[in-house]
Structure 1
């Protein structure tokens, strides 16, 4: 262990205790204090690795005040580790504020790589993993969630969400409504005995959970907006609206006639003259 480091950010197992790295074991056996989300959960982990290092609670309800207290300890020369109940601290778990404060004070810190639920789920989903965005938990309010999802609807990269079991049924129905029948994957109990991946179109998953009872937190992996989907939407739009209606809609949004014709021509793959001929009287 590096004597100059004041804060170790330690990823802990998301289910299988064998996934804790030897380096993480060494750090958790030798630091002065471990800040943890739940002292009982971390206590079981420390018992497993025969560590007697004291712990202190550090969770969403005391994160701000506790961060100041822990920062003062580090400034006095103490070496701390921060862990969450499972996975990497700071990723949808406490840790971000303490890390930011340590960085602001110029305190040396070290992040120990390790288990992370959303990366594990992404790789196991079978969906494209070269470009992705981690969103995490959505807003709890339904209308706010809908607005949030609609803002993501044109994103081309794979999207990753976390969801609690009591909201999963409603969330899947909302996803199907906003994103259509895109490919998706639900992952739960990762690295545990009953690890499960459920893959399929959103409509199929939403229908399944009309009767199936969700258990545990889920990672929801969603296919990005593909070129094929973009073309399908364009064809559907062209079938529902005329060129003239599209130009009128652009004019209502404040475009000049010239700009409106240009936009509609580009969107429909037409020449500007073809569009112009449809709106000579405007």
Structure 2
């Protein structure tokens, strides 16, 4: 069995008894960083073999791990904080386990994106989680422009070193929207700063140093920004959305198999169908 274990995003008191039981039952714990997980295990009084499975190694190690589980071992997987696969490694191993008919259990735990959304005070009836924005300013602006029509709150993860740059891009593309920068959630120095992107950016720029894990929540578009009544939403064209996502992924240099795997989940379409469309898009590009 594969146990996917959600871990605390800050406060160790948020680790569930069921998750601790999964660690105790595991023959091996795979993790993003063995040093981080070792500290969590020490807090719990658990001693287990650890294997590093970060984004650079998990795909290569998946066949060995699947073989061990088919041989009867229980393997737990945890990222450094929050839910694996949500802007963290894990999906490759879950996919491999599903394809090999290895049982998969998910032990829910804290998630920074949902915690930030609730803490922000921004309307959260509908929301879209983007993860990390592109590193380059032009790419960041283009991505934000593409997300602007989404009829819900936008959630981003950001590093303390790039948060001001991201706020500058937000102030350029979405200058009127309410923004909440949520820092160090569930930790001693938890902080939520609200205002326009320019206002929040000015507050942070005045500091000598910015520390901690950061999530940015952006308010949904106002009715006049959408050009629609408040009860209406843009008409969605699933085919066009899939084609657009494929083109963006190809522009980013993503492999055909990786695109198919990711977009099949996003659009609830069979991976084979998405893969064929990716190949067709590649052929059109020459």
TM-score (norm 2): 0.77
1:110 maps to which of 97, 105, 109: 105
- CA deviations 1:196-220 (Å, max 9, x no partner) are 1111122211222232232122100
- CA deviations 1:137-173 (Å, max 9, x no partner) are 0122222211111101122210000011111111101
The reply on whether 1:229 has 2:225 as its aligned counterpart is: yes
Superposed, which structure 2 residues align to 1:226-265 within 5 Å? 226-230=222-226
Structure 2 equivalent of residue 68 of structure 1:
63
1:23 maps to which of 18, 23, 31: 18
1:84 maps to which of 54, 79, 86: 79
Determine the C-alpha separation between the residues in 2 that align with 1:66 and 1:223: 40
RMSD: 1.3
- CA deviations 1:77-101 (Å, max 9, x no partner) are 1110000111001111110100011
Do 1:30 and 1:53's aligned partners in 2 also have CA atoms closer than 8 Å? no
Determine the C-alpha separation between the residues in 1 that align with 2:213 and 2:7: 17
Structure 1 equivalent of residue 216 of structure 2:
220
The aligned length equals 227
Report SS of the residue matched to 1:170. helix
The reply on whether 1:45 has 2:45 as its aligned counterpart is: no
Deviation at 1:231, TM superposition (A): 5.1
The reply on whether 1:36 has 2:36 as its aligned counterpart is: no
Superposed, which structure 2 residues align to 1:187-202 within 5 Å? 187-202=182-197
Do 1:33 and 1:81's aligned partners in 2 also have CA atoms closer than 8 Å? yes
- CA deviations 1:91-130 (Å, max 9, x no partner) are 1111010001111111111000111011001011111111
Superposed, which structure 2 residues align to 1:1-16 within 5 Å? 6-16=1-11
Determine the C-alpha separation between the residues in 1 that align with 2:205 and 2:50: 42
Please, which runs of 5 or more residues in structure 2 have no aligned partner? 229-286
Point out the structure with max Rg over C-alpha.
1
Report SS of the residue matched to 2:161. helix
